[in-house]
Amino acid sequence: MKEYITLAHGSGGVEMHEILEKLFFKRVSDRFKRVEGGIGIDEPDDAAAIPIGGGKYLVVSIDAYTVNPPFFPGGNIGVLAASGSINDVLMLGGRPIALLDAIIVEEGFPLEDLEVIVDSLIKTLEEEGVALIGGDFKVMPKGQVDRITITTTGIGISEGPPITDNPRPGDKIIVSGYLGDHGAVILLAQLGLQSSETGLLKSDVKPLTKLMLPLLERYRACITAARDPTRGGLAGVLNEWASKTNTLIVIRDADVPVREPVRRYAEVLGVDPYYLASEGAAVLAVREECAVEVLEYIHKLGFTEARIIGEVRETDVFKGYVATETPIGGLRVVEPPRGEIVPRIC
Amino acid sequence: MTLGFYSELEKQLRFNRELAKIVVEKIKGLFTEYTVKTGIERLKIMDFCGTHEWSITYYGLRSLVPSGMELVAGPGCPVCVVPSHYIEESIKLALDGVVVYAYGDVYKLRARRSVRGAYSLSEARSLGGDVRIVQDILSATRDAAGHGKPSVFIGVGFETAAPAYAWSILRKHLPVNLKLLILVKLTPPAMFYSLEVSREKPTEPPINGVIAPGHVSTITGAKAWTPVSENYGLPVVISGFEPLDVLVSILEIMKQLVEGKAETVIEYKRSVSWHGDLRAQNAINKVFEVVDDAWRGIGFLPKSGLRLREEYRLYDAFYEYGVRELKPVEWEKDMPPGCRCAEVVLGKAYPTQCPLFMKACTPQKPVGPCMVSIEGTCAIWARFGSRDLLLRITNEVKTSKG
Amino acid sequence: MCIGSPAVVLSVDHEKMTAIVDYGDGIPREVLIGISEERVKPGSIVIIHAGVIVSEMNEEEVLEQLEFFKTTLGEEASSGFTKIYEYLLKESKKITGEKK
Ligand code: SF4
């Protein structure tokens, strides 16, 4: 039977990992999966690191942004492309310094819109002190690309060993704020639910520099894993961590911050907010002894909704599982994301 | 505007841990009392609504009830029971250039045979078909009116969804280019059938009580379920969907069992009345006729489905596009070999008893329909873990250290 | 099978038999009225399935609900609900006030 690429392959879930494994990880020989002494696709992450001497590393990330629609409540594809790559560099422990972009735009795209998008991208970079040092610009004939895609490469310097996502038993899981805002907005826009009314839903897209730079400076040694839960959401991040480290991660529903309107909207669609993307939140694993201190510090940095939502546990049997305690004291398994997120009626 | 008093009620029913504990203790107490009285140590309670099954798994209720109590799911998913034939017909429409509107779970549903390379509407879209996911019929009517192209809405659902289709016709919301492929199924026949089957060939343990669908009953009224308590001697509770609603319904079933009663009782009083909504019932009767309908994996059940009446042909995709109906003579179990979905749907087997479960059949590559719909029991077990896994993991979580 | 979400009715269009509702995410959405239209008024709390109002919950019915909890759970166990009770009695005055 001939196989085809489906949207599920790009949804950040099980199918995507399978296809990446098949297309890349299996084909690239081990020796070429990283630069000597650095981090590459042997640690499949959004970014890579190359040692530059003095215990420092060059951190590089790449991401292609296609978002339908390019303008959404709370931002546009320009802010998203800038913030996303900045965050990818931050999550590996780097301080972002520069960015390159490649824009492909469809013939007939309004120039005015493109200006707004590019302005947002530049503004986001400038606010974070990140230089735009190169790029590419192409136009495709009508119908050969859906309006616009932006690919960005983020470049940063890590002052110490990069954070390679190796949570250990005992570590606490901290989230920096409300989860699922961006995913909810995008679903809303894609389902074309009525006019331009946006109500209380707004994307959380933003660079996490103000959170991560001070944290890295003070607590780098405490942080055993850091990730922004984009595609695949919280469920995706935690499942990856648990299966990578053969641990059991236990969280508590009641402690996971989800905005009321997002919860309501997700409920209407029958989707679980744990699988919705955030573009301005971080999930961290922090060593037990510093967890409380780190949390307090995060609060001081202005991320007042940050919480400890659970912890990493050692386990003989349930390696790679994520479980959550429900508000009424039951337990359920949080499965890795699979397939496209679509609403259900049943 | 806020949801006012409802938010407060919901908060209690969803988050009140103390209350949940009290109810669970009471359930356990009655369970023991029942065991002492009758010597029966294992009980089976069946739910008939995918959303109940969802609440039970999502809130981890199986980890809370007594270990001798099994909560099983009946044929409560209108998507899982759509015969493969109709999905194939829908794929054909999509590949022939008709805009197809489908709910998210219908979009993913796999047919048994492929149509020009596509096994589902989702694959039809990958192959160039124009398939659009919608959450409700009004969105489809607006969208279709906007582009004017020939379009079909896949109208699956139970009694709850039927008024949507009826009113969109009666209130003339449908643009001329949008036709309905009505595949509505009626729930009482399916429930009676499952109970009949388990009466003839009792499972171990047999079904001892029924949690009846809440939202279906808003339309049909609680009265639709009295034959269950009367003919099968089972306690029936029409339940709400918050975790505490379900726990209280289980408690009510236990109470009846201990007292030796079998009555139809409404727990979901805030939404369900005894007679249902007459106006909605009238609209359904006006637009639809009741037909013998095919349930995937089960077969033809008498008077178990709805189709548009002849007067409403103008809106009927069956008529407009010559979509063929499945006939009882050509019925064959449209279950793939090895799949035990038919038994799973009737509460006679657990997904874990199927040799294909999580081996050949996974949510990414579903073999049988129970794995396809997000509501399907196999899919739910795959996503949230089986009861056995749940109990063991609960134990581990309680004892393991960080 | 039938996911149903609560929402509050903002306005009613009797001709089209539709209502504008808010699910709590602040977005006004048009839905069909599937039940007797007298039951649906601005301010009503309704249950919506697949874009159609299938039920309406008035204070009386919620009080009945609480009564049911009381009889099933026993007086002392249902103390968790007394708060809602009081809240509801208070609110119901407010809500009926609002509707006028
Ligand atoms: S696991 Fe798959 S093959 Fe087995 S019964 Fe369920 S749907 Fe059928």
Average pLDDT over residues B22-49: 93
Q: Are the C-beta atoms of A220 and A293 separated by less than 8 Å?
A: no
**Alpha helices in B178-240, H assignment, sequence order:** 187-200, 214-220, 226-232
Answer yes or no: is A263 within a domain: yes
Specify whether the CB–CB gap between B272 and B241 falls below 8 A: no
Nearest CA to ligand 1 atom 3: B339
Percent helix, strand and coil across chain B, each to the nearest 5: 50, 15, 35
DSSP string over A86-133: HHHHHHTTPEEEEEEEEEEEETT--HHHHHHHHHHHHHHHHHTT-EEE
Q: Residue C98: which pLDDT band, with cuts at 50, 70 and 90? A: very low
d(CA B189, CA A120): 58
Report the pLDDT value the prediction gives residue B136, as an integer from 0 to 100. 87
**How far apart are the C-alpha atoms of A24 and C56, rounded to whole Å?**
54
Minimal-distance CA residue of chain B relative to A15:
B364
Nearest CB to A346; choose among C1, C24, C48: C1
Q: What is the pLDDT of residue A43?
A: 79
Q: Report the pLDDT averaged over residues B318-330.
A: 91
**Within a domain: A340:** no
What is the pLDDT, as a whole number, of residue A194? 44
Interface of B with A in 132-151 (CB under 8 A): 133-135, 139, 143
What pLDDT does C97 receive?
47
Quote the CA–CA distance of A196 and C28 in Å, as a whole number. 11
Q: Of the ranges A96-105, B73-82, B108-117, which is most confident?
A: A96-105
Cα separation, B84 vs B131, in Å, equals 18
Residues A220 and A328 in one domain: yes
**B369 C-alpha vs ligand 1 centroid, how far in Å?**
7
Sequential pLDDT tens for chain A (346 residues): 577 887 778 777 778 888 888 888 888 888 888 888 888 888 777 789 999 999 999 999 999 998 888 998 899 999 999 999 999 999 999 999 999 999 999 999 999 999 999 999 999 999 999 999 999 999 999 888 889 999 999 999 999 999 989 999 999 999 999 999 999 988 888 776 544 456 788 899 999 999 999 999 999 999 999 999 998 999 999 999 999 999 999 999 999 999 998 998 888 888 899 999 999 999 999 999 999 999 999 999 999 999 999 999 998 878 899 999 999 999 888 988 877 676 665 5
- The residue out of A127, A158, A189 marking a domain boundary is A158
First to last CA, chain A: 31
Q: What is the CA(B110)–ligand 1 centre distance, in A? A: 13
Centre of ligand 1 to C-alpha B336, Å, is 9
Mean pLDDT to the nearest integer, B343-359: 84
Residues A40 and A71 in one domain: yes
- DSSP-derived letter for residue C3 is -
Tens of pLDDT, residue by residue over B32-45, are 999 999 999 999 99
Percent of chain B at pLDDT exceeding 70:
96
Q: Summarize the confidence of residues B46-59 as an average pLDDT.
A: 87
- Residue B204's CB is within 10 A of a number of other CB atoms, namely 6
> Would you call B15 and A328 a contact, using CB atoms and an 8 Å cutoff?
yes
C-alpha B56/C-alpha A259 separation (Å) is 23
Q: Is B20 on the interface with A (CB under 8 A)?
A: yes
CA of A57 to the centre of ligand 1 (A): 49
Q: Tell me: do A154 and A303 sit in the same domain.
A: no
Shortest distance, CA C21 to any CA of chain B (angstroms): 10
Tell me the pTM.
0.87
Are the CB atoms for B161 and C50 separated by under 8 Å?
A: yes
b/e string for B298-318 if b means 16 or more Cβ within 10 A? bebbeebbbbbeeebeebbbb
| Omega cis (within 30) before B83 | no
Measured in angstroms, the CA of C90 and the nearest CA of chain A are apart by 24
**Which pLDDT score is estimated for C92?**
52
A199 lies in the same domain as A106:
no
CB count within 10 Å of CB C40 equals 22
DSSP label of B324: P
Judgement on whether residues A143 and A184 belong to the same structural domain of the protein? no
**Chain B residues in contact with C95 (beta carbon < 8 A):** 4-5
Q: Which amino acid is at A48?
A: A
The shortest C-alpha distance from C100 to chain B (Å) reads 16
Q: Are residues A193 and A322 in the same domain?
A: yes
Q: Supply the pLDDT for residue C100.
A: 35
Pick B78's closest partner by Cβ from A8, A332, A346.
A346
Interface subset of B 324-383, CB within 8 angstroms of C: 375
Provide residues with CB under 6 Å of ligand 1.
Answer: B 339-341, 344, 351, 354, 356-357, 361, 367-368, 370-371, 378
Q: Does B267 touch chain C (CB under 8 A)?
A: yes
Rounded Cα gap, residues B342 and B348, in angstroms = 9
Interval between CA B302 and ligand 1 midpoint (Å): 26
Touching subunits for chain B (3+ Cβ pairs under 8 A):
A, C
What domains does chain C contain, in order, with CATH numbers? Answer: 1-95 (2.30.30.140)
CB contacts under 8 A, C 29-48 vs A, are: 29-30, 48
CB pairs under 8 A between B and C: 190
Judge if A209 and A309 occupy the same domain.
Answer: yes
**Residue A21 DSSP symbol:** I
CATH of the domain at A217: 3.90.650.10
- Are residue A88 and residue A176 in the same domain, yes or no? no
In a domain, A310, yes or no: yes
Q: Which of C18, C25, C29 to mutate to test the interface with A (most CBs of A within 10 A)?
A: C25
pLDDT score for B296: 83
Is the pLDDT reported for residue B81 higher than 50? yes
- Which residues share a beta bridge with B318? none
Sign of CA dihedral A9, A10, A11, A14: positive
Tell me if A333 and B143 make a contact (CB, 8 A cut-off). no
CA gap C41, C43 in Å, rounded: 6
Mutating to test ligand 1, I would choose from B341, B359, B365, B386 the residue with most ligand atoms within 8 A of its C-beta, which is B341
Which domain does A80 fall in, by range? 34-158
Residue A287 half-sphere exposure toward CB, CA atoms < 13 A: 8
**Residues A133 and A207 reside in one and the same domain:** no
Question: B259-313 pLDDT, tens per residue?
Answer: 999 999 999 998 999 999 888 999 999 999 999 999 887 889 999 999 999 999 9
∠ Cα B276 B277 B283 (to 5°): 130
E strand residue ranges, B144-276: 151-155, 178-182, 207-212, 236-238, 264-266
C-alpha torsion sign, points A303, A309, A313, A318: negative
Instruction: Match 């003095």 to its residue by tokens.
Output: A54
Q: How far is the CA of C1 from the centre of ligand 1 (A)?
A: 19
Q: Do B158 and C24 touch (CB under 8 A)?
A: no
A42 lies in the same domain as A120: yes
How far apart CA A270 and CA A260 sit, in angstroms, is 15
Helix (H, G, I), strand (E, B) or coil at B154: strand
A180 within a domain of the structure (yes/no): yes
CB nearest B59 (choices: A191, A317, A330): A330
Q: In this structure, are A134 and A176 located in the same domain?
A: no
Question: What total number of domains does chain A contain?
Answer: 2
Reading the block at residue B187, the tokens are 């729930």
The rounded distance, in Å, linking the Cα atoms of A326 and B17 is 9
Q: What is the pLDDT of residues C69-87, one digit of tens each?
A: 888 888 766 766 766 666 6
- Determine the pLDDT at residue B72: 84
Check if the beta carbon of residue B98 is closer than 8 Å to that of residue B152.
yes
Cα torsion A105, A110, A115, A121 to 10°: value is -40
B335 C-alpha to center of ligand 1: Å? Answer: 9
- Residue B400: predicted pLDDT: 65
Q: What pLDDT, on the 0 to 100 scale, is given for residue B34?
A: 96
Residues of B whose CB is below 8 A from C36: 277-280
Q: How far is C30 from chain A (nearest CA, A)?
A: 8
Instruction: Find chain A residues with C-beta within 8 A of C45's C-beta.
Output: none
Mean pLDDT (whole number) for B88-108:
93
Question: Which of B364, B380, B387 best probes binding to A when mutated, by most A CB atoms within 10 angstroms?
Answer: B364
- In this structure, are A105 and A197 located in the same domain? no
Q: Rounded to a whole number, what is the distance in Å from the CA of A340 to chain C's nearest CA? A: 19
CATH number at residue A92: 3.30.1330.10
